[in-house]
Amino acid sequence: MKFLAVCLCFAVFVSDSFGCNSLMRRDTPYKASPAKKERYSSIKGLPYSKIRRGPPIWRDEFDHLDHSKWTPMISGWRGSNAFQIYVNRSQNMFVFHSFLCTVSSEIINYLQLLLQTFRGIENSYVRDADRYGPEFLYNGTIDLTLEGCNVNWGGGCIVKSGDDIIPPIQSARIHTRNSFSFTYGFVEVRAKMPKGDWIWPAVWMSPTDSVYGSNPRSGEIDITEVRSNVNLSCGSKSYGRQLCGTSLHWGPDSHHNGHRVQRNPDFSSDFHIFAMEWLPIGFNFYVDDDLIGHVSPPEGGFWKMGGFEGQNIWNITGNGTRIAPFDHPFHFILDVAVGGDMFPDWCINQPFDQPLEKPWKISDPVQMRPFWEKRMDWLPTWNPETEDNAMRIDYIRVYAVDQHHRSHG
């Protein structure tokens, strides 16, 4: 198999939760008890079968980066307090051809989300040192309005240093909000996760119109997320790239969400197929044909499933169905973030011989400065001269729900 790379690069300045209490963490493929199997089998179409697909309704095989499908986010907004800005620069988003391995004569193309470093100090790897000098992170300003800033959440169009430094990571985030959204269907994403400490890749979906209000009231679907550390442990559990997370977010506030996890020797060592079955009565999530999560809300919907009190907000604001807030169109988002709240404070990282504490604390008002000043602990794990620190997407395919399964909503 011959891989023709189509690369979207994510560069570094080096001037340069979940939780719905109704869902449980899983480190192995989903296995239901006999009682649960009997209960689930009474729900037609869920969950014990291979993904049942209707006709294809959308796909991107990434023969090239199709700008009619994908729109970049340009902003210094730091969702989940991550340590990057999102830009749309020629050195960040471009196409190149590279044969990485040959297995057969068939050419498969993939979109590659790649973090690269810019040299400014010491042994950091140079890209744009002329533009950003060593002190820029500490006293600089980035005016993203000059680059077409399109998201000003949190004042994200003007990024300034202050008590903390300028975000030291330059990355990219693209979405299909302007070109493609859908409600209910079957999604397959073939992807390979990046290698590198504190890198946080994600393939996810967001509501195109926030019918029920701001996040998480209108829902969020995380098809896969990974913490890309090679040897990250939190308590007695491995939390690095041996785990991928699949999540549903819903509820009246950010503390009411859902989370599933699947274990693998290393999600960055090869491509895997992350799949989702989204029906009017529930969700199934798969990794390489293993069912890792099944969610089907009872009568009363996700409001009852979350154990929330008071009036169901989805019936008040939008006459929601049983699966509300997941009953309106969602679109795709691809991004590679770094740092932030995704990495718990009690975790120990051991990329080399000695265990290391996480270089920042979620509770600290200054987080990016200690992260950056400890860069020689994590930057070598990114292997910046290789493509190891890339999230590579081979394809995304969406199929309709066949009429039989739609009728049981």
Residues involved in catalysis: 220, 225
**Measured distance CA(320)–CA(357) in Å, rounded:** 45
Sequence-distant contacts of 88-92: CB under 8 A, at least 24 apart: 88/147, 88/148, 88/172, 89/11, 89/147, 89/170, 91/9, 91/11, 91/127, 91/128, 92/8, 92/9, 92/10, 92/11, 92/170, 92/171, 92/172
CA–CA distances in Å: residue 314 to residues 204, 249, 260, 300: 22, 14, 24, 10
Q: How does strand 232-234 pair with strand 237-238? A: antiparallel
CA 352 to chain centre: 26
Q: What is the largest CA-CA distance in the chain?
A: 65
The pair of three-digit structure tokens given for residue 398, joined into one six-digit string: 């969406």
CB 80 within 8 A of CB 337: yes
CB 230 within 8 A of CB 189: no
Exposure b/e, 308-333, CB count within 10 A at least 16 = b: beeeebbeeebebbbbbbbbbebbbb
**Measured distance CA(202)–CA(22) in Å, rounded:** 23
**Measured distance CA(267)–CA(193) in Å, rounded:** 6
Return the SS3 of 290.
strand
Return the SS3 of 137.
helix
The residue type at 223 = I
Contacts of 306 (CB under 8 A, 6+ apart): 20, 21, 22, 250, 251, 256
CB 396 within 8 A of CB 189: yes
Q: What's 404's DSSP letter?
A: H
H/E stretch holding 187 reads strand 185-192
Count the Cβ atoms, other than its own, within 10 Å of residue 133.
Answer: 12
